Amino acid sequence: MAKVVDFCRRNLAWVLLLLICIVFTFTSENFLTITNLLNILNQNAYVIISAYGIALIMMSGGLDMSVGYQMSICGVLCSVMMVSANVPVLVAVIITVFLSVLFGALGTLLEQLLQIPRIFVSIGLSTFYQGVAYVITNSKTISGLPDSFKVIGQGTFLHPNLTYATIFMVLAGIFMSFIMDRTYFGRYVFALGGNEAASRLAGINVKRMKYAIGSIAGLFCGIGSVILVARVGASAAGTAAGTEITVLTGVLVGGVSIRGGEGKIANCVAGVLIMGLLGNGMQLAGLSTYYQYIAKGAIMILVMWFDAYQMKRRAVAANKRKEEKTAQSV
């Protein structure tokens, strides 16, 4: 029994994902079908891809809330390049992703210069990106994107509902899981989140690591932005607004502590999919969008409480072990 409880605790996101699937299977006959499940993956591919980068930031002990409007401004810039400046699709995509990498590095730069937590920097940047995006678009939607660009988000492979975006999402997830579980970079990320001062004393270049993490987060954010705009077929200043909440909740549900130092990419994928399944299942059950907001908000609060509970539980256990060692030495 103890092993089962331990397994469920370590794989909470996948257990919840399975339970949600079971519940919604009884509420709608159209839920557990290949077409619907692939649609959920397609709709959430850009969210999961951007979550890879945000998970890195959180694992390293940071928190970024600018991903939504960073994706929006990247999408706007990409659309303007193709529609207004007639920039070739491939060039526009490369420039967009590169700019997003710079935006990610900018967050780290401001964090270092101002000596304030990244979350406060990201809130300011989010508002800045929002304003710039609305100025560029003049609050209008940019449409008329090339068909060759739309293929990125709408093109399918083997199955009419299996998109290139979903395939890339899976491959990128496997790659990131390998990086985090099997390389020194992944170990350094966790070490940084566990104890930044100790990491510095251990010889890890903390500043360089933070720039690398911010840039990688920007990379995935840019790719997610391109996929979102290509899937929608248009771009606006608020296209990706609110994505940061879904990403943050999904990553937390996936077991990444808000204090950093732990987490798995695969569990983050499950966490984001839980958010997608909730929206899809509640919609098929005939519930309005407002109930979805309530459910997602409640889940976020519960997950943060569970994270705090786990931290407190581990601290108590550590203190108990310390007291036992002290008693034995005496």
Residue 217 has, within 13 A of its CA and on its CB side, a CA count of: 34
Residue 5's pLDDT is 61
The structure tokens listed for 116 are 């304030």
The model's confidence at residue 133, banded by pLDDT at 50, 70 and 90, is: very high
Residue 109's pLDDT is 94
Is residue 303 scored above 80 in pLDDT? Answer: no
Residue 75's pLDDT is 94
Is residue 106 scored above 90 in pLDDT? Answer: yes
Least confident of 21-30, 62-71, 238-247, 313-322: 313-322
Least confident of 101-110, 273-282, 296-305: 296-305
The structure tokens listed for 154 are 């709408």
Residue 255 has, within 13 A of its CA and on its CB side, a CA count of: 19
Q: Do residues 150 and 233 make contact, with C-beta atoms less than 8 angstroms apart?
A: yes
From CA 264, how far away is CA 231, in angstroms rounded? 28
Percentage with pLDDT > 70 across the chain: 94
Residue 6's pLDDT is 65
Residue 168's pLDDT is 94
Q: Do residues 17 and 23 make contact, with C-beta atoms less than 8 angstroms apart?
A: no
Is residue 292 scored above 90 in pLDDT? Answer: no
- Using CA atoms, how far residue 275 sits from 27, 179, 194, 236, 256, in Å, is 17, 25, 27, 23, 16
Give the distance, in angstroms, between the CA of residue 67 and the centroid of all CA atoms in the same chain. Answer: 8
